[in-house]
Structure 1
Amino acid sequence: MSKPIRVAIVDDEKNIRRSFEIILKPHGYPVETYASGEALLTALKKGKAPEPEVLFLDVLLPGLSGIEVLKQVKQQYPFIDVVMISGHANLSMAVEATRAGAYDFLEKPLSKEKILLILNHLQERRHLQSRYASLQEAVAEEYRMVGSSPAIQKVIQQIQKAAPTDSKVLIMGESGVGKELVAYAIHQNSTRSEGPFIKMNCAAIPEELTESELFGSEKGAFTGAVERRDGKFLQADGGTLFLDEIGDMSLKVQTKVLRVLQDGEFQRVGGKETLKVDVRIIAATNKNLEQLVEEGKFREDLYFRLNVVPIIIPPLRERPEDIEELFHYFLQRYCLRNNRRLPGVQKEVLNVLKSYHWPGNVRELQNLVERLLIFAEGDEIRVTDLPDFLLQPTFRVSEIKPGSKTLAEIRDEAERAYIQRCLEICEGNVSKAAQLLGVERTNLHKKMKALGL
């Protein structure tokens, strides 16, 4: 249950102040009372009492009027909800108080039920605001851009320049680099941030359903259409529509999307009514759209319509300096989410991660961190906790032509590559490399000498 909100009363009548205390204290509300507006403002300024969350303020007061106190409170302490109280309320007074920021108006004689009802409403509203703020913070954290490399900083600068405009954006990059993250960052920093952010993965929806998903459908338009449905374009009206993997969209649907981009108009599948929308389009792809245009698989006019502001996200292997920052970011996030103690990390672990080529990019790194937290033992993540594929040397038997080398030569090359890999991970520390290899330090020295290392 939520903690009762703090309440302050300002009224020059002692019996009114006492009545509030009698009503509120049995319900657990902390109450502070003041005989004048000046007394309240002084107490707030000097920190003599905790800042109230709700203020019941009499209109007619000696010295500063209630309306004047209201204006000062809302200017200096905007998060205090103010309820005006008066025995001589009239419409003009209520209008003035509302314009000055009052939440409600309470008439004398006081009603216990009305007072408690107002406080219940305010308590619930604050609870919902807190939950919404927490959700917004969680979303912001989920979609935060992480990285200090020049490559990712360039992307962030492009986001900052593109976001305030209404221009179409085409985000390009391999799978797992964070194209949706960039799209959402653009939306959140745009004038449409209060509007919806609607996503559609063009590769994940069967071709025959793509049209109805985008434009909606009328009842009976096709088998299974038992009611009218709004599509993604209508859902995104006033906001942003993110079309992910647009290179997988069929030519038929591309033609209809082009019309929406040109005229802002479309019809539901099976419908005749022309609908208009105000939508910003952000598209993304991991394919070469120029090549698809040459092959006749993507409309050239649609490509030019989408490619107004191109943003290319570099793969993780091209910005290894971001790996450590990303690793710790995901580690902290998963520990917080799962109420886990933050483990230490061996320096050699980060060396391994920085030397890996990351075909799955940031998403692969994110999944690895989650896996390590589940399976790593002790209070430190060690090299031995890493999956085997991260420790494999670049030596590949499949690349050797049969008959080109003897078995002894191949064995020596494999051993040399693996020892070199372990030494790289351990930054040349032979003792640590020996531990990683499971051999004695002296034996490793002998092997290194024999292999010319």
Structure 2
Amino acid sequence: MMESSRQIMAIGNHSALRNTVEALSRYDWSIFHPGTLEEARAILSEQDYRVGLVFLDEAPSSIPLYMEKMPDLYWISIIENVELLSDETRDLIYRCCFAYHSGSLDAQYINTLIESALSMAKLSDLCEKNRKRCQNKALCMVGDTPVMQHLYRTIRKVASVDAPVLITGKSGTGKELTARAIHELSSRRQGPFNAINCGALPAGLIQSELFGHEKGAFTGANQRQIGIIENSSNGTLFLDEIGDLPLEMQVNLLRFLERLTVFRVGGQKEIPVDVRVLAATHVDLEKAIEKGEFREDLFHRLNVLQVRTPALKEHPEDIEPLANFFFQRYSSDKPAMLRGFSQESLVVMQQYHWPGNIREMVNRVRRSMIMCEHRLISPGDLGLERRNGHSRDTDSLQQARDSAECEAIRAALARNKYKILHAARELGIARVTLYRLLEKHGIDRNGVQDEAAADFPSTSETIQLT
């Protein structure tokens, strides 16, 4: 049986393709010649193509689109004479190709190039897998859905610069975890990470806690105290629930962000501080500005970059791996006989809307692990009832159908690793229908959508070589 990786995507001059197929017949390759870019990208989502052959003699203008829209393929260009090519075509080969062969057909040499490209592709896969493993370890997050992958990419982008970041999201979605991940992936990772909840600070001590105070600054100030901002120098300061900071303190925080200096309470001089500020809120700060509860100038200072942490209901496919992750994390709390979750409890967790998000899940899982008296955790142990996340009193029949349809689509995508063709086949519908349903239910298409294809003037065929 042929290895799945010994498959080649071929585009370009059809007669040259035929000659190359015949010449390579003894090297056991499978060559696929797509008719359109859409067909090429569809087959890539199903099968393991890593090497592409491109025939540039009399090449149609759509060839650059193939090569640039499929950058994960290691392209090898076959041409008659590189000197006769236009500057634009030579630049295309330089930018997009792993190697090229010019001159008369040499099957052995072309096979060597293909083998080399395939080996480099496999090495690239190993390096990418290791890079993601290391980065996800730094992120300390669980979830592999497109929604979470988008969050990971955003975290890595904002971590690479030193500007302020505003982290938004509902309560319990992991805003502090996101802030820690940004710090761990940044150039400040060797410095301190200090977090403070602005809503939990005593009203009379906020300024002292943030900026510090000198000895004798007020009654009870028996010694100098370094504030949390100054204590975060060369590191990261995370201001959680920034929307709860009193207006009078917002003025002082704005001054610090503009000048990067602090005045200790009772102090006489400004102290420069090198710190990156991350802030988080679960409230809509723009609405708070309209109500006069938050300063607009401070908002713009904090909102240079923004990261939004998704609610758990936006990526229900991650519920089961998250539950298993927390089960393993707190396994020291469970009875020896407890082995995991029943299938019914996993279904119920998928249906529940999780208003408290990850924080609520942690609490329910830990409680169930302690209280469960059987081998598997039941919905009752979790404190959940079937369909608890949906109101029977208010949902219409159509709403119930839509909800079931949405859950089935999400589950099929998750089982098929977000490969559209596989998910559509499992559901017994056409790809076009599945795309329409993704749009209907507002399911994030990031990572699964297929861009519009450019037609390619040839027929589609697969040529098996033995």
Classify the TM-score, shorter chain: 0.5 to 0.7
The answer to whether the 8 Å contact 2:334/2:369 transfers is no
Q: Structure 1 residue 271 and structure 2 residue 267: aligned?
A: yes
The answer to whether the 8 Å contact 2:242/2:281 transfers is yes
Q: Per the alignment, do residues 236 and 395 of structure 1 end up closer, same or farther by CA in structure 2, a change over 3 Å counting?
A: closer
Q: 1:76-91 to 2 correspondence within 5 Å?
A: none
Q: Which residue of 2 aligns with 1:184?
A: 180
Tell me how far 1:389 sits from its aligned partner.
5.7
Which of 219, 223, 228 is residue 224 of structure 2 equivalent to?
Answer: 228
Tell me how far 1:340 sits from its aligned partner.
5.4
Which amino acid letter does the alignment assign opposite residue 165 of structure 1?
Answer: V
Q: 1:278-427 to 2 correspondence within 5 Å?
A: 278-336=274-332, 343-388=339-384, 392=388, 394-395=390-391
Which ranges of structure 2 fall in alignment gaps of 5 or more residues?
1-135, 408-466
Which of 182, 194, 203 is residue 198 of structure 1 equivalent to?
Answer: 194
- The aligned length equals 266
Which amino acid letter does the alignment assign opposite residue 218 of structure 1?
Answer: E
The answer to whether the 8 Å contact 1:198/1:240 transfers is yes
Q: 1:130-149 to 2 correspondence within 5 Å?
A: 144-149=140-145
The answer to whether the 8 Å contact 2:210/2:229 transfers is yes
Q: Structure 1 residue 258 and structure 2 residue 254: aligned?
A: yes
What secondary structure does 1:199 align onto? strand
Which amino acid letter does the alignment assign opposite residue 188 of structure 1?
Answer: E
**Whole-angstrom distance in 2 between the partners of 1:305 and 1:388:** 43
Q: Which residue of 1 aligns with 2:212?
A: 216
Superposed CA offset, 1:252-297 (max 9, x none): 1111111111111111012112111000000000010111111221
Q: Per the alignment, do residues 395 and 172 of structure 1 end up closer, same or farther by CA in structure 2, a change over 3 Å counting?
A: closer
Which amino acid letter does the alignment assign opposite residue 289 of structure 1?
Answer: L
The answer to whether the 8 Å contact 2:138/2:184 transfers is no
The answer to whether the 8 Å contact 1:168/1:282 transfers is yes
Which amino acid letter does the alignment assign opposite residue 221 of structure 1?
Answer: A
Q: Which residue of 1 aligns with 2:245?
A: 249
Q: Per the alignment, do residues 142 and 366 of structure 1 end up closer, same or farther by CA in structure 2, a change over 3 Å counting?
A: farther
Q: Which residue of 2 aligns with 1:439?
A: none
Which amino acid letter does the alignment assign opposite residue 281 of structure 2?
Answer: T
TM-score, length of structure 1 as denominator length: 0.55
Which amino acid letter does the alignment assign opposite residue 151 of structure 2?
Answer: V
The answer to whether the 8 Å contact 1:346/1:380 transfers is yes
**Whole-angstrom distance in 2 between the partners of 1:386 and 1:369:** 7
**Whole-angstrom distance in 1 between the partners of 2:384 and 2:319:** 19
Tell me how far 1:320 sits from its aligned partner.
0.8
Tell me how far 1:317 sits from its aligned partner.
1.4
Tell me how far 1:378 sits from its aligned partner.
2.5
The answer to whether the 8 Å contact 1:344/1:381 transfers is yes
Tell me how far 1:141 sits from its aligned partner.
6.9
What secondary structure does 1:280 align onto? strand
Which amino acid letter does the alignment assign opposite residue 322 of structure 1?
Answer: D
Q: 1:429-444 to 2 correspondence within 5 Å?
A: none
What secondary structure does 2:330 align onto? helix
Q: Which residue of 1 aligns with 2:203?
A: 207
Q: Per the alignment, do residues 220 and 396 of structure 1 end up closer, same or farther by CA in structure 2, a change over 3 Å counting?
A: farther
Which amino acid letter does the alignment assign opposite residue 321 of structure 1?
Answer: E
Q: Per the alignment, do residues 180 and 339 of structure 1 end up closer, same or farther by CA in structure 2, a change over 3 Å counting?
A: farther
Tell me how far 1:207 sits from its aligned partner.
2.2
Which of 141, 153, 156 is residue 152 of structure 2 equivalent to?
Answer: 156
Q: 1:80-119 to 2 correspondence within 5 Å?
A: none
Which amino acid letter does the alignment assign opposite residue 260 of structure 1?
Answer: F
Superposed CA offset, 1:324-380 (max 9, x none): 111011001111577957613211111100111111110000111100110111222
**Whole-angstrom distance in 1 between the partners of 2:206 and 2:285:** 19
The answer to whether the 8 Å contact 2:348/2:384 transfers is no
The answer to whether the 8 Å contact 1:335/1:342 transfers is no
Which ranges of structure 1 fall in alignment gaps of 5 or more residues?
1-139, 401-412, 425-453
Which amino acid letter does the alignment assign opposite residue 292 of structure 2?
Answer: G
What secondary structure does 1:203 align onto? helix
Compare 382-391 and 298-307 and name the one that shifted more.
Answer: 382-391
**Whole-angstrom distance in 2 between the partners of 1:333 and 1:182:** 19
Superposed CA offset, 1:181-213 (max 9, x none): 000000000000000000110011122211111
Which of 164, 168, 176 is residue 164 of structure 2 equivalent to?
Answer: 168
Q: Per the alignment, do residues 143 and 162 of structure 1 end up closer, same or farther by CA in structure 2, a change over 3 Å counting?
A: closer
TM-score, length of structure 2 as denominator length: 0.53
Q: Per the alignment, do residues 207 and 141 of structure 1 end up closer, same or farther by CA in structure 2, a change over 3 Å counting?
A: farther
What secondary structure does 2:353 align onto? coil
Tell me how far 1:246 sits from its aligned partner.
0.2
Q: Taking every aligned residue pair, what percent have the same amino acid on both sides?
A: 47
Tell me how far 1:312 sits from its aligned partner.
0.9
**Whole-angstrom distance in 1 between the partners of 2:338 and 2:160:** 38
What secondary structure does 1:317 align onto? helix
Which amino acid letter does the alignment assign opposite residue 323 of structure 2?
Answer: F
Tell me how far 1:383 sits from its aligned partner.
3.0
Tell me how far 1:172 sits from its aligned partner.
0.1
Q: Per the alignment, do residues 265 and 338 of structure 1 end up closer, same or farther by CA in structure 2, a change over 3 Å counting?
A: farther
**Whole-angstrom distance in 1 between the partners of 2:175 and 2:350:** 22
What secondary structure does 1:174 align onto? coil
Higher RCO (Cα < 8 Å, 6 or more apart): 2
Which amino acid letter does the alignment assign opposite residue 366 of structure 1?
Answer: V
The answer to whether the 8 Å contact 2:338/2:374 transfers is no
**Whole-angstrom distance in 2 between the partners of 1:362 and 1:393:** 15
